[in-house]
Amino acid sequence: MVIAVLAATFAQLIDLATFARMVSEHGPRAEANPFVASLLMDHGLQFVAVTKIVGLALVVGVIAVLARRDGVNRHPRLALAVAACAVAAGLFGGWTNVAVIL
Write the pLDDT tens digit of every residue in 81-91.
999 999 999 99
CA dist., res. 99 & res. 30, Å (int)? 11
Task: Name the burial class of residue 4, with classes exposed (0-12), middle (13-18) and buried (19+) by CB atoms within 10 angstroms of its CB.
Answer: buried
**Domain membership of residue 49 as a residue range:** 2-101
pLDDT in tens, 1-28: 899 999 999 999 999 999 999 999 998 8
Q: What is the mean pLDDT of the chain?
A: 93
pTM above 0.85, yes or no: yes
Reported as a single tens digit per residue, the pLDDT across 54-79 is 999 999 999 999 988 776 778 989 99
Q: How many domains does the chain have?
A: 1
Residue 70: the pLDDT is 78
Instruction: Please compute, for residue 51, the number of CA atoms within 13 A of its CA located in the half-sphere on the CB side.
Output: 11
pLDDT digits (tens, 9 = 90+) for 31-59: 989 999 999 999 999 999 999 999 999 99
